[in-house]
Amino acid sequence: MVASVNSRRRSRDDVAGMALHLLDEYGLPDLTMRHLATALGVQPSALYWHFPNKQALLAAVSERILAPMAEVSGDGTSMHDAVRAVGTRMRECLLAHRDASELVSSSLALGLVSSPVRPRLLAAARLHGVPDALAEVAAEAVMHFVVGFTFHEQQRLAADQLGLLPETAASNLGEARAGSPADADFAEALTMIAHGLEVSIAQHRDVQKTRRDELSRTAG
């Protein structure tokens, strides 16, 4: 059923690629070393030549899922926009693959994959003269919110697809449509976090200014 069961040797990338394919097709619970090996036309033990263990394999898959994050940068008009752009993009990455948020959440928590939010928010901060420390705090808030929100969202989607809902039904179409209510909730909460960052920046500037004033007063 799945292609490439011929006798050619597999590369590390082939393995990760097939794993991502199986993830989309059958979901995380069925992404087992044994199924993956079968799909590649190989014995399960063969996978351990390419990856030391399953978690390492899943980390490689996580990196593929987050790859499109490279395309977004915080070069917007403000930190506010950067937070929204990066957060929105990350949710898109996670929604693009089945069970991706659960997978990425664990890779991130285990430290096997680095935050895709942090470097982009740091870059934006430097562009706008905002201290790194504030960007780091915002990056944590954004990343955890996005992963948590999308995890919740995706788990509900998976439950729906198993036909566990009573009335409203699976809202048809596996793909999340553009105007979903979750979209609005997500956007609102993300905006709230962005607002919080702006307040923190303003407070920081106030403190700086007060310090300067005191300094010039004692000096003058």
Partner DNA sequence: ACCTGAACACCGTTCAAGT
The yes or no reply on residue 3 touching DNA (CB under 7 A) is: no
Under the binding rule (CB under 8 A), the answer on residue 191 touching a copy of itself is yes
Among 24, 54, 119, 122, binds DNA (CB under 7 A): 54
Token pair listed for 77: 């008009």
Using the 8-state DSSP alphabet, how is residue 168 labeled?
S
- Residue 46 is a binding residue for DNA (CB under 7 A): yes
Residue 196 interacts with, from a copy of itself, DNA, none (CB under 5-8 Å by kind): a copy of itself
111 binds, among a copy of itself, DNA, none (CB under 5 to 8 A by kind): a copy of itself
- Choices 42-50, 66-74, 121-129, 189-197; region in contact with DNA by CB under 7 A: 42-50
Kindly identify the residues of this chain, within the stretch 115-174, that bind DNA according to CB under 7 A. none
Instruction: Check binding of 97 to DNA (CB under 7 A).
Output: no
How far apart (Å, rounded) are the C-alpha atoms in residues 88 and 71? 13
Task: Choose between 4 and 208: whose C-beta lies nearer to DNA.
Answer: 4
Given the complex with a copy of itself, which of 3 and 199 has the nearer CB atom? 199
Q: Which residues contact 187 (CB under 8 A, 6 or more apart)?
A: 84, 88
Kindly tell me which residue out of 1, 3, 6, 45 binds DNA, with binding defined by CB under 7 A: 45
Position among 199, 216, 217, 219 found at the interface with a copy of itself (CB under 8 A): 199
* 188 contact choice in a copy of itself, DNA, none (CB below 5 to 8 Å, kind-dependent): a copy of itself
Stretch of 38-46, 75-83, 144-152, 207-215 lying at the interface with DNA (CB under 7 A):
38-46
Instruction: For tokens 């693009």, name the residue.
Output: 96
Our CB check for a copy of itself shows the closer of 51 and 145 to be 145
CB of 117 closer than 8 Å to CB of 87:
yes
Task: Return the amino acid letter for 173.
Answer: L
- Would the CA dihedral through 68, 70, 76, 82 be positive or negative? positive
Largest Cα separation within the chain, whole Å, is 82
Closest CA to 120 of 68, 73, 190, 84: 73
Three-class SS string for 38-71? HHHCCCHHHHHHHCCCHHHHHHHHHHHHHHHHHH
